[in-house]
Chain A
Amino acid sequence: MNIVTCFKLVPEEQDIVVNSDRTLNLEKANTKISLYDLNAVEAGTELAAAIPGSKVNALSVGGKRLENTKARKDILSRGPDALYAVIDPSLESALPRETAAALAAAVTKIGGFDVILCGEGSGDLYAQQVGLLLGSLLSVPVVNDVSKLTAGEGTVTVERTLETEVEVLSVPLPAVICVTSDINTPKIPSMKTILAAGKKPVTSWSCADLGITPGAAPVVVQSVLAPEQADRKKVILEGDSDSNVAAFVESLRKTL
């Protein structure tokens, strides 16, 4: 089975500095793999382990962060056999539509797939759209919110935990599957896989290599600002009497 696991490199949240005008300074932020994508990578390697002869390709699109060799080794230490990276200045702050278009072109150039796995959303934008757009662009079935994944003959069986029921679907391949963070606990890379990661193949492409030209974005980001800080209200209700509980609820209701 040919498996592609998509991931995004995002700034380390702890390193992000909020400027006085509430804009974000990412200059000193280290690079890390978006946490939700680690579930997709783990799901991909588990799927591959269940079907002998499978291959897992990690795929990402973005800007300069993808040149980070440590981050490349990090993703490869988590199971994928090879890494494909589309690095282009036009993808530096790409929104879901451009990201999905670049992923679709890259998957085609890689030479096909049976399953593409995505996380439930990225660690920075968390738009939860890329996987769905990707499936649509590739004209294949796409299912999100998947919390269990089992390989079948030409299909995968997925479970989606909905509000009142668990939906079980048999999805014909090829398909795009977006997994939730409940699907697994990503394994911690072992010493062996870390040291072997640097020997795995990495292929870098630009948008020109893929024959795509990002068009005018249908959505333009006006600003990204940190939430305004609000002082604590310091409303303290002593004791758990009915009247205090009622006052607490009323206080919450007013605030919300």
Chain B
Amino acid sequence: MDFQLTEEQELLLASVRELISRSFPAEYFKKCDEEYKYPIEFMNALGENGISMLGVPEDLGGIPADLVTQMLVIEEVGRMGAPCFLMMGAHCVHNMMDFGNKEQLAKTVEALATGVPPYSLAITEPQAGSDNNMLGTSYTRKNGKVYLNGQKTFISGAADYPYMLVLARDPEGKDPKKCFSLWWVDPKTPGIRINRLHKIGWRMVSNCEVFFDNVEIEESALVGKEGNGFGHLMRNFEIERLTIAAYSVGPAECAFEEAAKYSNQRVTFGKTIGSYQLIQNKLTQMAIKIENMKNYVYKVAWQDDNKQSLRLSSALCKLYCSQAAQEVIDDAMQIMGGVGYTEDCRISRLWRDIRVSRIGGGTDEIMTYIAGRQIVKEYANK
């Protein structure tokens, strides 16, 4: 087993560090967070450097890289204190290569090259999160046009990304497994109303309610095969789980490093707090969790690079990393004390941002449900 990074990977990570440390100080992200502003300059810089196109095939203008490398880059962006959760990466393109048409693929690549994720995924509804069968947003046909009606919620990037993929139901459909289709929608289309939600974290990207009131689209806006909307998204969900796990590692490392440095500076009762075993115990447990998170993310990415199934591992990985990262960042705040609780210290932002990893892309409970069911199934005949 080889844990050594390649020279190219080391140089890629050095490039990420240089880009962020040169042009995007902690103050920039603090300001974006305070103002609920999408950090477009940062995202454009990721595009310009080619970071956003990692893993996209060369013939589409991308930069070939395996999933391990893509996860390493997400981790490094997070370790530098930058909002790595904004990086959607190449799987947007892979989705369109798998089931989009040529025009949709071209638009996806064009948008991603600017660093901004091409589309938001409009799936969740007030009454239907992980229970997708309850989705009520519908598509109907009239005079050669398609009309969307319904309401989505918690849609990440709906107010920031250029396009939207909307999962909608055919109200005439009898079989619930075959009545959902994906539609390519411009969020500026008449009849769409977007309402930003106010959150305690992830303030640098919008999460929105999206209302569809007789939104007229063309037949050509169908993404993939009609009735196969869920099927198309299943693979997306597995990569999404791994990506959210990767989102957790870098911020945890960032908080850990700040807390470890602080433990050498802060003096109480004549000694640095790092000399007390209670603090050393915290740092030790944090270090173990970080190593576990890193190894888990790399392994699941490696599995995908080697065409192995991620059905179980991506759920386990997301569940572990989301929880472990929250624990690490919380401990970092504890070590920093009052300083860590202020908004001048970025650990407070990381602490707010990380919480949603246990909710978005499937809650801890849903990850447990997916993984537990799969584990029992695997041992059914043994």
B68 at the interface (CB under 8 A from A): no
Q: Residue among A73, A189, A191 with the most chain B CB within 10 A?
A: A191
Contact between chains at B63 and A192 (CB < 8 Å): yes
The interface on chain A, measured as residues whose beta carbon lies within 8 A of the other chain's beta carbons, has a size of 14
Contact A195-B10, Cβ < 8 Å, known A189-B15, A190-B15:
no
A11 → B minimal CB distance (Å)? 16
Contact with B along A45-84 (1 / 0, CB 8 A): 0000000000000000000000001100110010000000
CA distance A41 to B230 in the complex (A): 52
A73 and B7 contact, CB distance less than 8 A: yes
| B162 within 8 A of partner (CB) | no
Within A159-213, which residues are at the interface with B (CB < 8 Å)?
188-192, 194-195, 197-198
Query: Which of the residues B7, B18, B54 comes within 8 Å of A188, measured between beta carbons?
Result: B18
When C-beta atoms are compared, the residue in chain B nearest to A71 turns out to be B7
The DSSP consensus for interface residues of chain A is helix
Task: Say yes or no for B11: interface residue by CB 8 A criterion.
Answer: yes
Number of CB contacts from chain A to chain B under 8 A: 45
Residues from chain B with Cβ under 8 Å of A69 in the complex? 7
Question: A32: nearest residue on chain B (CB-CB)?
Answer: B14
Chain B interface main SS type: helix
Which residue of chain A is the closest to B19 with respect to CB atoms?
A: A188
Q: Per a CB cutoff under 8 Å, which of A77, A191, A194 touches B53?
A: A191
Q: Which residues of A contact B92 (CB under 8 A)?
A: none
Of A188, A190, A198, the contact of B8 (CB 8 Å cutoff): A198
Determine whether B215 belongs to the interface, using a CB cutoff of 8 Å to chain A: no
Is there an interface contact between B11 and A77, defined as CB atoms closer than 8 Å? yes
Give the bracket for the number of chain B residues in contact with chain A: 10 to 19
Is the CB–CB distance between A195 and B15 below 8 Å? Answer: no
Asked if B63 and A191 make an inter-chain contact with CB atoms under 8 angstroms apart, the answer reads yes
| A50 smallest CB distance to B (angstroms) | 21
Q: How far is the CA of A197 from the CA of B63 in the complex (A)?
A: 13
Interchain CB contact under 8 A, B8 and A194: yes
- Asked if B283 is at the interface of the complex by the 8 Å CB criterion, the answer is no
A88–B53 Cα gap in the complex (Å)?
A: 40
Query: From B48, which residue of chain A is reached at the shortest CB distance?
Result: A190
B12 on the A face (CB < 8 A) = yes
**Chain B's nearest CB lies how many Å from the CB of A68?**
9
A70 and B7 contacting across the interface, CB-CB below 8 Å: yes
In the bound complex, CA of A192 to CA of B52 (Å): 11
Q: Which of A70, A77, A195, A198 is B63 in contact with, Cβ under 8 Å?
A: A195
Q: Which residue of B lies closest to A190 (CB)?
A: B50
Residue of A nearest to B9 (CB): A194
Interface string of B1-43 (1 = CB under 8 A from A): 0000001101110110011001000000000000000000000
Q: Is the CB of A191 within 8 A of B15?
A: yes
What 1/0 flags go to B37-65 for Cβ under 8 Å of A? 00000000000111101100000000111
Q: Which residues of B contact A191 (CB under 8 A)?
A: 12, 15, 49-51, 53-54, 63, 65
A71 nearest CB across to chain B (Å): 9
Q: Known contacts being A195-B63, A195-B64, A195-B65, is A190 close to B7, with CB within 8 Å?
A: no
